[in-house]
Structures are given as C-alpha cells and as structure tokens.
Structure 1
Amino acid sequence: MLTFEQKLAIIETFPQLERKNVSLGRVNFHFEESVTEKKNVVYHLHPNGNGFVYTEEIKDFPSDNKGMVNIRDFSEEDLRTVIEQSILSLSAKSSEETATVKEIDEEQWINAENHTLILVHEDDEMWNVYAGVNLDGTFLSYSEAKQYLEEEGFKKK
C-alpha cells in the first residue's frame, strides 16, 4: 500500500488538480474545469492512506453510491489511471463526441426474449429508457443508461 506522502506526490503531478486542505489532516483535489457540478477528483485523502476518487462515469472502477472508489490499496499505476480517467470523465467532450451524442435521439435495444426497450435523449440532460409507453429508468448520461441496458441483457438493435 502506498503511503499518504506517496499518494500526495502522485496526485500532485496532475497540474489540472487544485489542492484543498480539509479537516483532520485530510486533503481534497478539485478539478475546477469540470463540465459538471462535480469538482472533487480526490476526496478526503487521509494521512492513514485512505481516500476516494470520483469514478461514477468510469466502467473499470466500480463506484459506491456517492460515485467514488476507495483508493486505500491502489498501486501507483492504478492511482494514476483512475485519476486520469476521472479527469477525463469531468472534462469537456471533444466536438466529435458531442456530435455523436447529439445525433442520438432514440435507440432501440433488444434482449434474448425479443423484448424491446427504447433509449431516448430528452431535454438535453436526461436519458430515459421506455418499455412501450412506460418509463423504465432515467439516467444522467448515455454511458449510465447503456451500462444499465447491458447489465439487463439488452443489446443495441
């Protein structure tokens, strides 16, 4: 396990992050250029080595109900990777990514039993999944909705 000092040294190599000292010797690192309301990339890094990184939009790092993953036992490589991916998830998307998302207004998803769900981008903010006229789920991002559909056994038609 990396020590608090080692983790600090790694995190401080990311010039996009701004250090914020908080109570009990803990440290947060904010990404002020975030395109979402989320600014904390590193949350409550504690002198005992415990801490969290924002991973709500990252598939490879499962997050808790606050969208964070515990980094207590992370290696240097894993810590660098999760921070890079966290910053990317909070960054402005390229015009190509934005155009792709904007082009998707509606998608059909089907499962092995030929049940169909419709994924609809509504109000430029929400992704809604419909089973016929019934709302099945609402998500804040395309990746969240896609993950849900795939976990439920659906594939894009």
Structure 2
Amino acid sequence: MSIAVVALGSNLGDTSATLDEALVDIRALPLVRSVTASTVISSTAITLTGPDPSKPRYANAVALVDTDLAPSVLLAALNEIESRHGRVRDERWGDRTLDLDIVAYGTVTSDDPRLTLPHPRAHERDFVLDPWLEVAPDAALPGLGPVARIREGLS
C-alpha cells in the first residue's frame, strides 16, 4: 500500500465537472483502494514566462490515492485519463482540459525523466501545497520536509 499525491488542474471547458469526472476515473482504476480529494481552488495560469492573468484561471485540487499500482503504471493510467478528457500536449505549460501530476508517491524518489519524484516544482506551487495540506495537514514532501513549513516559506 502506498499513498500517491496527485495534483489535478484544468483551465479549459467545464473545469469543475472535468475534475469531478477525473476523480471518478481515478477511483475506478484497478488496485486503487480509496481516493481522498481536497476542495477545488482557483489559481492564475502559470506559463513558461510566469503567472499570466490573461489566461483562463485554473481549477486545482489534490487527491490522496491509496494504491498498489507502481508509480509508472499509475502515471500511465493518469495520462490515459487526461487523454480521455481531451488533453493535448502541443505547448509546454499551455492551457489544458486536464492535468494530472503525481506530486509524491510515498517516500519514493526518482530522477527518471518520465517521472521525477517528488514533482520538481511542487514545493513552489501554492495551488498544490494548499489543497494538499487540506487533506493531509501533517504531509511531508520527500527530501524537503513538512509541507506546512514549505508553504510558510512561500508567503
């Protein structure tokens, strides 16, 4: 049993419905015992050049996924869910119907270019840290420490 921390984001289409449907899809994956999701928050789009308030705002949430799926298998399943929801990967950090990122997977660390764990920018993103703290107030980011302390450093 491992707990995967999955960040969900959407800024195209019916973002709230898309996140709800993605959570249903994650719950339906084999070897997933439970999914605990945060409330949805809104955030400014982040682009390669930084925050861009001219872009559609994001709906963001975090889910704790209790699973026996290996991290790489979970990532493949999340990518399939993104595809079913119309995700197109034309532009790095571009607008998207659905973005599902594995932020952390238990205490696993990985430098694999296909799946870096923990997520290399999670500690910089209040739209990841705030919902994560809602569902896991005592959470820790492997290698960086308590999420609450990391979040305080962003203020």
TM-score range relative to shorter protein: under 0.3
Structure with the greater alpha carbon radius of gyration: 1
- Structure of higher RCO (CA pairs closer than 8 Å, 6+ residues apart): 2
- TM-score normalised to structure 2 length: 0.24
Scaled by the length of structure 1, the TM-score of the pair is: 0.23
